[in-house]
Amino acid sequence: MREASHLLTAHHRAWTGIGKWLPRRLLAADAARGGALLDGHRAVAETADPGPLAAAVHQVLDLVGGPLREGTRSTGPAARESEVDHTGRVRLDLK
């Protein structure tokens, strides 16, 4: 949920926020996809059903070009402005 939220808000160049601000920022950035992420999170919490959340995450991934697969490389400007942090995650400097 957290990573998909950051991806969605970054795609829309919107501030992510934390805590109680995250739902507000998700809905402001993209009402349909942000709402689907929130509904999916609620479904996991209430019924332990990951299906709606997984579907919402796939919607976000589709928005930004689909999931990355092992061996995927990017040569665009964002790749040159990114760094891999100590956890192996890529940090993008969006300008």
pLDDT above 70 for 5 = yes
Side-chain half-sphere exposure of 7, counting CA atoms within 13 A: 21
pLDDT above 70 for 92 = no
Q: How many CB atoms lie within 10 A of CB 61?
A: 15
Kindly report, residue by residue over 41-63, the tens digit of the pLDDT. Answer: 999 999 999 999 999 999 999 99
pLDDT at 76: 56
Could you tell me the pLDDT band of residue 87, with boundaries at 50, 70 and 90? Answer: low
What is the C-alpha to C-alpha distance for residues 40 and 53, in angstroms, rounded to an integer? 4
- Percent of the chain past pLDDT 70, that is, above it, reads 73
Computed from CA positions of residues 89, 23, 40, 55, in that sequence, does the dihedral angle turn out positive or negative? negative
Residue ranges per structural domain of the chain: 2-69
